[in-house]
Amino acid sequence: MLFSGDGDFPVLVEAIQRKDRTVSVVSTLQTQPAMVAHQLRRQTVRFTELTTLAPRIGRDPAERAAGMAERAQQNRVKEDCL
C-alpha cells in the first residue's frame, strides 16, 4: 500500500507488480491540483480516496489541541527545572 500520489512512483509500482504483487494507492483527488499522478492512479489495482479514511484514521481536532497544550505545559515545566 502506497500512501502517496507522487508521479515518481509509477516505476516502483511497475517493479512491484512484476513480482506478482498488488499495489494499492491512497491519496486524494479532492485538492486543487489533485495530489495523485494520473498515471499512478491508472496503473494500480485499487485507489483509495484519502478523505474517505478520515473518520477511521483521523484525530478529533479537540483531542489534538488538548495534546498540544499538554506538551507545551510539559516543556514549560522542563524549562523551569533547568
Q: Which residue has the cell 516502483?
A: 12
* Identity of the amino acid at 2: L
The residue among 14, 59, 10, 65 whose CA lies nearest residue 27 is: 10
pLDDT digits (tens, 9 = 90+) for 15-42: 999 999 999 998 888 888 887 888 888 8
Q: What was the pLDDT predicted at 17?
A: 93
Q: Residue 53 pLDDT > 90, yes or no?
A: no
Length of the chain: 82
Q: 75 pLDDT exceeds 80? A: yes
- Rounded average pLDDT over 55-80: 80
User: What's the average model confidence in pLDDT over 52-56?
Assistant: 85
Structural domain spans, the chain? 10-81
What is the pLDDT at residue 72? 85
Question: Is 13 within 8 Å of 39 (Cβ atoms)?
Answer: no
Q: What is the dihedral of CA 21, 26, 30, 31, to 10 degrees?
A: -100
